[in-house]
């Protein structure tokens, strides 16, 4: 338990938890504001919350994907694969629970299921980013991809069910499979290999 | 100072900022091709994405000192600390501007041969928009220097996007104009007055200076620039309501066909006049010499803001706002016939089913568009001699205008 506490502190866990709390609060406020506008109608109006809240939470997760000195960490006699897997699963559970809870009271209005699906996909992309680019740039693939899909606007068609997964209704199975696949791929890759080299050690906070 | 700037331009965040803004501009133009017609006006909507990208780029650039542990090295140089920061900001702002302008320039080259009207004072809108990118970069630099967090760049970018997006839902009064992002629809013939451009430009310049002074921690300069920015914001906070933007009278001037039944569109839509005429003139010709039938087509954009089409039965008013494509042609040519059918015929609500069917028959006869009702006797109508077809249609128009249910049912039974 002590080790887990030290691990989370070393990875910036408190900052992440504070950020996640803020994202949850903002998601709640924005969801209520949109649901309370008479000129907004239908699931399309909640897209900003359904896409941006999980993305923002996943972006906050990025810096926690590596410690201050990854090389030094790997030199210690710890089962890092299991620690990394646990770290990611705990993070996705925390993000999923927090973000999804903002839409649970009326899932059909606030898109609770879509929030959960997008959490899986975004965390998967951040994990992939961490494994490939390092923790410093872990946010880049998720940020770039989700923003591009968001800017593309509503998409229909068979291919869009896969590539525009964050925008699809939660009843579209293909979008869940894509988001789940990204999460599985990112988790396995990150848990197995850890964060990429990035740019060397991070200066310790003073 | 030129060498450090060159180094920053090529080795700092500037190339990434240029790529990001160019990509963002291409993307926004690509997914909203119908909005290209008012390119300068649409650029102000595109700023919602571009400002967010510039804030992210500025924050990334400013976080470099911390990431690379350059603090001590920079303080050991003979230059004051604000100078490298200013050069770094300038490089990012320049990179973002180059990325945006290059794409907009390319788009303008594509549109220029097609466009029939560019809009009044469009360059001011463009300049103030570009100025907003510089302000956004300064905000990013400030946030990046203040917040020691690895992922501050994307977080600041997303927060900017959300904040500016929420700002567009403010009522269209002066406070909303503190934001550079305007959801103004210049394609509908509205324009931003010059004094508003000027006030916005002064506000953005003062805000940029204040943000940079804050980032550089220059106490007296900060005091001065913040005072300036607050003064520049006063006209937005205390002035009278702006309300709706004025109409560009030249943009909404009617431009009409010279041959065949008259079809008129606003000057901003004049590049699709032939396409609209190709669809609507045969339909007008079909109603020639029918008493009470419309004889001309007009574009709703030719009306001034707040003006409504007069209830002239001889004119079919069409809403063409979603029709123009950036490079010419109609975006929804097939829907134009349906639009014409709906706009040209009087419609009565709460009719009995038989009378309702007669309305669908008339609409199908006129537009050849399939109607949402099965087994309509339109073919029987078309089997009649042309004179009788027109007489039937004329009777229908008279009955529909009065919503004479009995007569409408009778007309249906006659087929």
| Residues B89, B150 within the same domain | yes
The pLDDT of residue B173 is: 67
The pLDDT of residue B201 is: 94
Output B251-254 pairs: Cβ under 8 A, ≥24 positions apart: B251/B117, B251/B119, B251/B120, B251/B189, B251/B191, B252/B189, B252/B301, B252/B302, B252/B303, B252/B304, B253/B302, B254/B298, B254/B299, B254/B302
Say whether residue B150 is in contact with chain A using an 8 A CB cutoff.
yes
Pure H helices in B112-267: 122-146, 152-167, 194-216, 219-238
- Do residues B263 and B277 make contact, with C-beta atoms less than 8 angstroms apart? yes
Highest mean pLDDT among A10-19, B169-178, B373-382: A10-19
Strands B254-256 and B263-266: antiparallel
Name the domain boundary from B177, B206, B238: B238
| Residues B222, B181 within the same domain | yes
Chain B residues touching A148 at Cβ < 8 A: 27
The first and second tokens of residue B114, run together, are 């097609």
Tell me how close the Cα of B251 comes to any Cα of chain A, in angstroms.
29
The first and second tokens of residue B396, run together, are 């229908």
Q: What is the largest CA-CA distance in chain A?
A: 59
Scanning every residue of chain B, which has its alpha carbon at the shortest distance from the alpha carbon of A126? B151
User: For the segment B132-143, what is each residue's pLDDT rounded down to a tens digit?
Assistant: 999 999 999 999
The pLDDT of residue A41 is: 67
DSSP β-bridge partners for residue B266:
B254
Q: Which of A62, A148, A202 sits opposite B27 (nearest CB)?
A: A148
> Is B181 contained in some domain?
yes
Whole-Å CA distances, B245 to B38, B183, B192: 15, 11, 6
Question: Does the pLDDT value for residue A126 go beyond 80?
Answer: yes
CB contact under 8 A, B154 and A52: no
The alpha carbon of A31 is separated from its chain's Cα centroid by a whole number of angstroms, namely 18
> Is B355 contained in some domain?
yes
With left for phi above 0 and alpha for psi between -120 and 50, is residue B296 left, alpha or beta?
A: beta
User: For the segment A133-172, what is each residue's pLDDT rounded down to a tens digit?
Assistant: 998 889 999 998 998 888 777 777 888 899 999 998 888 9
Mean pLDDT lowest among A159-163, A193-197, B144-148, B294-298: A193-197
Bigger pLDDT: B39 or B252? B252
Confidence of residue A186 (pLDDT cuts 50, 70, 90): very high
The pLDDT of residue A206 is: 42
Name the domain boundary from B312, B344, B376: B344
| Residues B23, B89 within the same domain | yes
Total tally of structural domains belonging to chain B? 3
Confidence of residue B195 (pLDDT cuts 50, 70, 90): confident
Chain A residues touching B148 at Cβ < 8 A: 205
Q: Which of A63, A153, A199 sits opposite B31 (nearest CB)?
A: A153
| Residues B25, B143 within the same domain | yes
Scanning every residue of chain A, which has its alpha carbon at the shortest distance from the alpha carbon of B30? A152
CB contact under 8 A, B31 and A152: yes
Chain B residues touching A60 at Cβ < 8 A: 151, 155
Tell me how close the Cα of B357 comes to any Cα of chain A, in angstroms.
32
| Residues B73, B188 within the same domain | yes
Which strands sit side by side in the sheet containing B315-318, from one edge to the other?
Answer: B254-256, B263-266, B296-299, B315-318
Bigger pLDDT: B197 or B209? B209
Chain B residues touching A19 at Cβ < 8 A: 155
The rounded distance, in Å, linking the Cα atoms of B154 and B55 is 9
| Residues B107, B232 within the same domain | yes
Confidence of residue B90 (pLDDT cuts 50, 70, 90): very high
The pLDDT of residue A43 is: 67
State the residue range of the domain holding B339. 252-344
| Residues B268, B289 within the same domain | yes
Q: What is the largest CA-CA distance in chain B?
A: 98
The rounded distance, in Å, linking the Cα atoms of B175 and A111 is 32
**Exposed/middle/buried for B347, CB within 10 Å: 0-12, 13-18, 19+?**
exposed
The pLDDT of residue B252 is: 86
Q: Report the pLDDT averaged over residues B78-103.
A: 91
Question: Domain extents for chain A?
Answer: 1-71+78-193
> Is B244 contained in some domain?
no
- What letter does residue B385 receive in the DSSP assignment? -
Residue B256 backbone phi and psi in degrees, to 5: -120, 160
| Residues B216, B329 within the same domain | no
Say whether residue B154 is in contact with chain A using an 8 A CB cutoff.
yes
Say whether residue B66 is in contact with chain A using an 8 A CB cutoff.
yes
The rounded distance, in Å, linking the Cα atoms of A179 and A51 is 13
Bigger pLDDT: B327 or A142? A142
**Exposed/middle/buried for B389, CB within 10 Å: 0-12, 13-18, 19+?**
middle
| Residues B78, B217 within the same domain | yes
Residue B200 backbone phi and psi in degrees, to 5: -65, -40
- Do residues B268 and B207 make contact, with C-beta atoms less than 8 angstroms apart? no
Tell me how close the Cα of A104 comes to any Cα of chain B, in angstroms.
22
Chain B residues touching A140 at Cβ < 8 A: 154
Chain A residues touching B149 at Cβ < 8 A: 15, 63
The rounded distance, in Å, linking the Cα atoms of B191 and B109 is 22
Chain A residues touching B162 at Cβ < 8 A: 26, 30, 48, 52
Whole-Å CA distances, B289 to A199, B292, B319, B389: 80, 9, 25, 12
Between chain A and chain B, how many beta carbons pairs sit less than 8 Å apart? 53
Chain A residues touching B66 at Cβ < 8 A: 203
| Residues B149, B234 within the same domain | yes
Tokens 């091709």 sit at which residue?
B33
CB contact under 8 A, A152 and B24: no
Q: Which of A59, A138, A140 sits opposite B155 (nearest CB)?
A: A59
CB contact under 8 A, B157 and A205: no
- Do residues B24 and B31 make contact, with C-beta atoms less than 8 angstroms apart? no
Q: DSSP 3-state assignment of B190?
A: strand
CB contact under 8 A, B66 and A203: yes
> Is B110 contained in some domain?
yes
Mean pLDDT lowest among A10-14, A195-199, B6-10, B218-222: A195-199
pTM, full prediction:
0.84
What's the start-to-end Cα distance of chain A, in Å?
26
> Is B373 contained in some domain?
yes
| Residues B287, B392 within the same domain | no
User: For the segment A64-99, what is each residue's pLDDT rounded down to a tens digit?
Assistant: 998 887 777 777 888 889 999 999 999 999 999 999
Tokens 């943000």 sit at which residue?
B211
| Residues B156, B227 within the same domain | yes
Chain A residues touching B19 at Cβ < 8 A: none
The rounded distance, in Å, linking the Cα atoms of A26 and A140 is 22
Scanning every residue of chain A, which has its alpha carbon at the shortest distance from the alpha carbon of B49? A151
Say whether residue B155 is in contact with chain A using an 8 A CB cutoff.
yes
- Do residues B135 and B208 make contact, with C-beta atoms less than 8 angstroms apart? yes
Question: Does the pLDDT value for residue A182 go beyond 80?
Answer: yes
Best of A32, A118, A143 to disrupt the B interface by mutation (most B CBs within 10 Å)?
Answer: A143
The rounded distance, in Å, linking the Cα atoms of A126 and A142 is 6
């Amino acid at each position: 338990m002590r080790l887990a506490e030290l691990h989370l502190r070393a990875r910036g866990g408190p900052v992440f938890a504070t950020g996640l709390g803020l994202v949850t609060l903002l998601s709640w406020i924005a969801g209520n504001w949109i649901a309370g506008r008479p000129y907004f109608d239908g699931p399309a109006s909640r897209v900003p919350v359904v896409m941006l809240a999980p993305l923002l939470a996943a972006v906050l997760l990025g810096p926690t994907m590596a410690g201050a000195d990854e090389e030094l960490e790997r030199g210690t006699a710890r089962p890092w694969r299991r620690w990394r897997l646990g770290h990611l699963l705990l993070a996705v559970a925390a993000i999923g629970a927090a973000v999804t809870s903002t839409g649970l009271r009326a899932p059909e209005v606030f898109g609770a299921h879509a929030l959960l699906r997008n959490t899986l996909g975004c965390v998967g992309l951040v994990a992939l980013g961490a494994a490939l680019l390092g923790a410093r740039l872990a946010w880049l693939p998720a940020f770039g991809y989700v923003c591009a899909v968001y800017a593309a606007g509503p998409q229909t068609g068979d291919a869009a069910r896969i590539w525009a997964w964050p925008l699809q209704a939660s009843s579209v199975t293909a979008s869940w499979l894509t988001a789940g696949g990204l999460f599985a791929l990112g988790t396995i890759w990150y848990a197995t290999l850890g964060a990429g080299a990035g740019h060397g050690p991070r200066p310790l906070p003073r | 100072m030129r060498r450090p700037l060159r180094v920053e331009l090529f080795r700092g965040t500037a190339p990434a900022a240029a790529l990001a803004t160019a990509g963002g501009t291409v993307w926004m133009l690509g997914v909203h091709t119908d909005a290209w017609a008012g390119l300068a006006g649409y650029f102000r909507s595109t700023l919602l994405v571009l400002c967010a990208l510039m804030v992210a780029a500025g924050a990334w650039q400013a976080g470099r000192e911390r990431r690379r542990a350059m603090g001590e090295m920079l303080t050991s140089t003979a230059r004051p600390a604000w100078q490298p920061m200013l050069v770094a900001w300038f490089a990012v702002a320049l990179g973002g501007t180059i990325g945006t302008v290059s794409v907009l320039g390319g788009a303008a080259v594509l549109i220029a041969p097609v466009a029939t009207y560019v809009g009044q004072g469009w360059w001011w809108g463009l300049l103030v928009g570009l100025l907003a990118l510089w302000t956004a970069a300064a905000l990013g630099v400030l946030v990046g220097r203040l917040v020691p967090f690895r992922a501050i760049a994307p977080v600041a970018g997303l927060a900017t996007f959300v904040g500016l997006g929420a700002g567009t839902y403010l009522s269209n009064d002066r406070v909303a104009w503190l934001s550079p992002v305007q959801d103004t629809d210049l394609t509908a013939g509205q324009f931003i007055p010059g004094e508003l451009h000027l006030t916005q430009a002064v506000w953005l310049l003062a805000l940029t200076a204040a943000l940079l002074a804050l980032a550089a921690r220059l106490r007296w300069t900060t005091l001065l620039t913040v005072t300036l920015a607050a003064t520049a914001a006063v006209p937005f906070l205390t002035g009278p309501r702006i309300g709706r933007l004025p109409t560009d009278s030249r943009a909404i001037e009617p431009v009409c066909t010279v041959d065949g039944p008259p079809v008129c569109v606003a000057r901003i839509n004049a590049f699709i006049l032939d396409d609209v005429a190709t669809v609507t003139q045969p339909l007008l010709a079909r109603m020639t010499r029918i008493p009470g039938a419309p004889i001309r087509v007009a574009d709703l954009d030719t009306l001034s803001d707040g003006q409504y089409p007069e209830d002239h039965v001889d004119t079919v008013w069409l809403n063409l706002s979603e029709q123009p494509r950036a490079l010419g042609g109609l975006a929804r040519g097939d829907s134009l016939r349906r639009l014409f059918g709906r706009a040209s015929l009087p419609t009565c609500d709460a009719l009995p089913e038989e009378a309702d069917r007669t309305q669908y028959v008339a609409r199908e006869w006129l537009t050849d568009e399939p109607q949402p009702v099965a087994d309509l006797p339109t073919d029987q109508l078309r089997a009649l001699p042309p004179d009788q077809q027109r007489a039937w249609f004329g009777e229908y128009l008279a009955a529909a205008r009065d919503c004479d249910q009995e007569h409408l049912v009778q007309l249906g039974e006659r087929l």
